[in-house]
Structure 1
Amino acid sequence: MTALLDAPARPEAGGDEVLATLAARAAEARRLVVDMAASPRGCHLGGSLSVLDILIAALHRASAGDGTEVVLSKGHAAAGLYAALHVSGILPENPAPLYGRADQPYTGHPGPKVPGVRFPTGSLGHGVPYAAGWALARRLGGHGGLGIAVAGDGELQEGLVWETVQVAAAQGLGNFVLVVDRNGGQNDGYVEDISPLPRLGERFEAFGFETVHTDGHDLGALTAILAGDRGAERRPLAVIADTVKGKGVPAVQGKAGCHYVTIDATRAAKWKRAIR
């Protein structure tokens, strides 16, 4: 277990100390993702690196112990989720050397055999209704906590996402939060070239959502947005988080070609040294 896990940030605390801890977790998680890219099968590197700060902030919010559940709907970024779970103290063992092995649960898409993963995700769009259903169950049971779905912008091409958005608004699920990792890329290229998303915030607002735009790598902004139980709210929240594919690794940052990467140990060591 790393030193980062020995002194977890308290969810009720704020200020520079907590943000420094979360930033250190994010940097270490990026190094673990690079290690997973150096496995025999490689990994979805670009999207795992873009979503990491969102996951670190969301898991920090969930550590309040109020029943908040975080669902990575863009399940192909499983390497990022495993790394975030480990540095957040939820997953005790280091998943990097075990990633992709036939006898281990650390597969290319996450499943509930991994500590901290309640729902399996992989087929895009499915994690969004899982999180909305969780939020509805918490509310019907008279409990607090959020259902937080983390989706990609390419994933918004799935109709199931918008069906869920419509239901969440109709049910007044103020405790449902959909965070969009808007890195501008998808499997076949750039979202702008395939199925653009103009006026995305206005789309969510038209469905009845509260909408916030933020820098998806600003841990202070992310933790502030996700704070609180939203129990008194009736409008679900859409967080459009602008991110950079491959964030943190200068050699691939912002490049569509880093969507899925397999590298050797020498390159992995070089990339890890560049992570700050």
Structure 2
Amino acid sequence: MELAIDIQREEISLLVDKAKEARKLIIDMAASSTGCHIGGSLSAIDLLIGAYSKYVQDPNTLIILSKGHAAAALYAALHVYGIIKDNPADSYGKAGSLFTGHPNHKLSGIPFATGSLGHGIPYAAGWALAQKMKQTNGLGIVIGGDGELQEGLCWETAQIVQAQSITNFVYIVDCNGGQNDGYVHDISPLRNLRQRFEAFGFAVKEINGHHFEEILAAIEPDPDRPVAVLANTIKGKGVAAIEGNPEAHYVKIPEKLAHKWKVNLS
């Protein structure tokens, strides 16, 4: 038992280190000539790091970032896992670079280009349904945002997932409370979100989206139902100056400030 606990602690420690490395890359991309969507990237990075730890163990896992404006987080996660060799911060946003502002399917580990909010959800669900029809063990994991749930396509897909009993499907919602124009609760409040997903037949798990123990446990599929993970996160997590601030949705910062943020990462 003690050996198993030690192994788990070591695994969690490695994930924490990867997440910190990825956060530094995201900050560097915010210091690029174009800047990046730093707030949502920092809130989602732990979810991506946790999801890709499962992918590394089982490559028959598909991971899609539906909130594609957080591409900086996706590139950072793929790089720290060695799936993408080039450092994305070196050319992010530059003319001719594959590291574009939304996920580029020409890069390793990115099966679909996303960016139009809501579209990544049916991509993942359709892939998961195909795996079910082929009787494989493929698991489809999609990471979306809470503001993204204002898109009707998210709920249309939930209806299909229920109707087709797509149980090899995990929908992670990055609930950071912010979107482009402000706070989600001021724009389109998500009341009774757990009950909404339960009404569509999902097994719902509410977690702290920055605790890897909870993330790893939550992304396990349910044999009888699709899974919705409501991950409570902090926009701008790790950079005290912008944590919880919806105005940090997209920023361009000077290199001096980027250095300060990286040194003081929490």
Where do 1:116-131 residues align within 5 Å?
Answer: 116-131=109-124
Secondary structure of the 2:57 match is coil
Q: Distance in 2 between matches of 1:14 and 1:208?
A: 35
Secondary structure of the 1:15 match is helix
- Aligned residue in 1 for 2:55: 62
Per-residue Cα deviation, 1:106-157 (whole angstroms, up to 9, x for no partner): 0000021111100000000000000001110111111102111100000000
Secondary structure of the 1:245 match is coil
* Mapped contact 2:121–2:157 kept (Cα < 8 A): yes
Where do 1:147-226 residues align within 5 Å?
Answer: 147-226=140-219
Aligned length: 261
Q: Distance in 2 between matches of 1:18 and 1:68?
A: 19
Q: Distance in 2 between matches of 1:112 and 1:264?
A: 29
1:234 to 201, 221, 224: 224
Are residue 269 (structure 1) and residue 259 (structure 2) matched? yes
Q: Distance in 2 between matches of 1:118 and 1:137?
A: 15
Deviation at 1:16, TM superposition (A): 0.5
- Aligned residue in 2 for 1:89: 82
- Aligned residue in 2 for 1:3: none
Letter in 2 for 1:35: D
Are residue 246 (structure 1) and residue 236 (structure 2) matched? yes
Percent identity between matched residues is 54
- Aligned residue in 2 for 1:15: 8
TM-score, normalised with respect to structure 2: 0.96
* Mapped contact 1:189–1:256 kept (Cα < 8 A): yes
- Aligned residue in 2 for 1:136: 129
* Mapped contact 1:210–1:236 kept (Cα < 8 A): yes
How large is the RMSD of aligned CA atoms in angstroms?
A: 1.1
Q: Distance in 2 between matches of 1:197 and 1:259?
A: 19
TM-score, normalised with respect to structure 1: 0.92
Q: Distance in 2 between matches of 1:119 and 1:59?
A: 16
Q: Would you identify which runs of 4 or more consecutive aligned residues in structure 1 move more than 3 Å?
A: none
Are residue 101 (structure 1) and residue 100 (structure 2) matched? no
Q: Distance in 1 between matches of 2:55 and 2:134?
A: 18
Deviation at 1:66, TM superposition (A): 4.5
Per-residue Cα deviation, 1:68-88 (whole angstroms, up to 9, x for no partner): 100000000000100011112
Q: Distance in 1 between matches of 2:171 and 2:193?
A: 13
Letter in 2 for 1:253: E
Change (3 A) 1:170 1:60: same
Gapped runs of 5+ residues in structure 1? 1-12
Q: Distance in 2 between matches of 1:94 and 1:32?
A: 8
* Mapped contact 1:181–1:243 kept (Cα < 8 A): yes
